[in-house]
């Protein structure tokens, strides 16, 4: 009897939660995945931050802001987002041009725009504005895109990417390019273009090499042979691999990673936090985290497939897959598979703007997903 009552109360609670979710245009499954990975991230960051608890609370606050932004964006109707896309894109371009002209220099790169109260990176806007703009351009044209459309979209992508890469912020440029490119791919870009793109990239390598800054060249060279510069550019890669490798299957234990805690691992709470996971929580911790990411990407793609028009579909799919690009570029860099590119580990790395942008992206994804019912039967 008591059991029955308990069961029914549970059922009532579940349905109430589901009703609330629906009212707020939120997706429970995606939210659960994001929450799981975020909690994991905060758990690891607490250890990586060491004595600096202020840093941890700072991140907690940013999660608060990010969640607020996510929920707020989830309430925005999809047609409004569609209309806003070109505006956001143009605004982003203007701000990027402004940064190039008058921006602050931080860590040797010109990325920040000081708005008096907040310092902020216009390139973050482009992470969302570029895929939305590409989807907006393609949504009224027949798909798969024609050659003309492909060239037009490529132009939409290349202009902001070059501006960002020139700051120089290779990581963000890469992510923005990936977001736009994924819209094209999901829209049905012919494999012939892919082959062509690869060929162009291959041909461009010597040219790009010529254009790269010295430190960027160094990063590529260092990837090929980390020991060549063990105390300089290779130091990051060597130390992060030592951290991960010495973690073994089960890890050294939370807050017990000697590489991280004794500050051998550089940027351990930001770009290299993946190594802290590997050192302290071992192979099992890494696999659990990767599984969490897979769940989020999978759920995002599933949601995108249920969308009823090209704009929502392409934008959602791009957001979900770009999220994975973050994961792979960061994890690949930290484990020594890819060159060192400044890309944070999503939901885990310390860092304000990119976290808010990420959650904003998921807010847009949820908004677009919830709109399917309005069009559906």
Partner 1 sequence: MRRVRIKDENLEQRVFLQRSLIAIAVVLSLLLLLSGRAFWLQVLRHEHYSVLSQGNRARIEPLPANRGVIFDRAGRVIAENTPSYQLELVREQAGDLDATLARLVLIGLLEQDDVDRVRRLVQSRRAFEAVPVRLQLDQEAIARYAVHRYELPGVFLETRMARHYPYGELGAHALGYVGAISENDLVRVDKERYFGTGVIGKTGVERAYEDELLGTGGYREVLVNAEGRPVTALGGQADNLRSRAPHAGRGLRLTIDIELQRVAEQAMAGRRGAVVALDPSTGDVLVFASLPGFDPNGFARGISRRDYLALTADPDQPLFNRVLRGTYPPGSTIKPVMALAGLEYQVVRPEDTIYCPGHYSLPNSRHQFHDWKHEGHGTVDMRRAVMQSCDVYFYRLANALGIERIHDAMSRMGFGAPTGIDIAGERGGVMPSPQWKKTLFKRPEQQAWFPGETVILGIGQGYWAATPLQLANATALLAARGRHFRPRLVRAFVDPVNGAVDERALQALPPVELKDSANWEVIVDAMVAVTSGPGGTAVRASRGAAYSIAGKTGTAQVYSVGQTEKYDEKTVAERLRDHALFVAFAPADAPKIAIAVLVENGGHGSSAAAPIARAVFDAYLAPGAG
Residues at the site binding partner 1, with contacts judged by CB under 8 A: 140-144, 146, 182, 185-188, 239, 241-249, 252-253, 255-256, 258-259, 261-264, 278, 282-283, 286-287, 290, 293-294, 297-298, 301, 304-305, 309-310, 313-314, 317, 321, 324, 328, 331-332, 335-337
Shortest Å, Cβ 311 to partner 1: 11
Shortest Å, Cβ 11 to partner 1: 33
Residue with smaller CB distance to partner 1, 58 or 241: 241
DSSP per-residue codes, 109-132: EEEEEE-SS-EE-HHHHHHHHHHH
Break the chain down into helix, strand, coil percent, rounded to 5.
75, 5, 25
119-120 and 104-106 strand pairing:
unpaired
Of 305, 260, 308, the C-alpha closest to 280 is 260
Residue with smaller CB distance to partner 1, 97 or 291: 291
Shortest Å, Cβ 102 to partner 1: 37
Residue with smaller CB distance to partner 1, 110 or 258: 258
| Residue 271 near residue 331, CB atoms below 8 Å | no
Residue with smaller CB distance to partner 1, 154 or 283: 283
Shortest Å, Cβ 332 to partner 1: 7
As given in the structure block, the two tokens for residue 40 are 């994991």
End-to-end CA distance of the chain: 41
Show the CA angle centred on residue 42, arms to residues 41 and 48, nearest 5°.
Answer: 90
Of 193, 194, 113, 126, the C-alpha closest to 158 is 126
As given in the structure block, the two tokens for residue 343 are 């890309």
Shortest Å, Cβ 204 to partner 1: 22
What's the rounded Cα separation, in Å, for the pair 37 and 350?
14
Residue with smaller CB distance to partner 1, 52 or 140: 140
Shortest Å, Cβ 302 to partner 1: 8
Residue with smaller CB distance to partner 1, 324 or 350: 324
Residue with smaller CB distance to partner 1, 194 or 204: 194
Shortest Å, Cβ 71 to partner 1: 26
Rounded to whole angstroms, what are the CA distances from 104 to 59, 122, 141, 163, 297?
23, 12, 40, 15, 35
Q: Please tell me what DSSP assigns to residue 226.
A: G
């Amino acid at each position: 009897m008591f059991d029955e009552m308990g069961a029914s109360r549970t059922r009532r609670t579940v349905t109430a939660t589901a009703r609330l979710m629906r009212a707020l245009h939120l997706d429970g499954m995606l939210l659960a995945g994001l929450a799981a990975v975020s909690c994991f991230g905060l758990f690891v960051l607490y250890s990586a931050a060491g004595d600096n608890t202020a840093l941890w609370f700072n991140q907690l606050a940013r999660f608060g802001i990010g969640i607020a932004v996510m929920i707020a964006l989830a309430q925005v109707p999809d047609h409004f987002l569609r209309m806003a896309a070109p505006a956001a894109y143009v605004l982003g371009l203007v701000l990027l041009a402004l940064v190039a002209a008058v921006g602050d220099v931080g860590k040797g790169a010109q990325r920040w725009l000081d708005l008096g109260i907040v310092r902020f990176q216009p390139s973050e806007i482009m992470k969302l504005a570029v895929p939305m703009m590409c989807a907006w351009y393609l949504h009224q044209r027949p798909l798969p895109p024609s050659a003309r459309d492909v060239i037009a979209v490529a132009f939409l992508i290349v202009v902001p990417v070059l501006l960002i890469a020139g700051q120089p912020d290779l990581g963000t440029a890469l992510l923005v390019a990936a977001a736009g490119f994924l819209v094209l791919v999901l829209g049905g870009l012919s494999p012939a273009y892919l082959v062509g793109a690869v060929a162009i990239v291959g041909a461009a390598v010597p040219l790009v090499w010529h254009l790269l800054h010295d430190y960027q060249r160094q990063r590529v060279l260092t990837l090929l042979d980390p020991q060549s510069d063990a105390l300089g550019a290779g130091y990051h890669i060597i130390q992060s691999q030592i951290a991960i490798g010495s973690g073994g299957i089960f890890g050294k234990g939370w807050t017990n990673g000697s590489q991280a805690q004794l500050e051998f691992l550089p940027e351990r709470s930001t770009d290299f936090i993946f190594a802290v996971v590997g050192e302290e929580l071992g192979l099992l911790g890494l696999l659990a985290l990767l599984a969490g990411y897979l769940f989020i990407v999978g759920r995002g793609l599933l949601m995108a497939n249920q969308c009823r028009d090209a704009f929502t579909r392409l934008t959602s799919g791009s957001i979900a897959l770009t999220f994975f690009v973050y994961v792979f570029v960061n994890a690949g860099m930290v484990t020594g598979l890819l060159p060192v590119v400044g890309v944070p580990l999503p939901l885990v790395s310390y860092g304000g703007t990119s976290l808010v942008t990420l959650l904003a992206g998921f807010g847009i994804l949820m908004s677009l997903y919830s709109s399917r019912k309005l069009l559906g039967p």
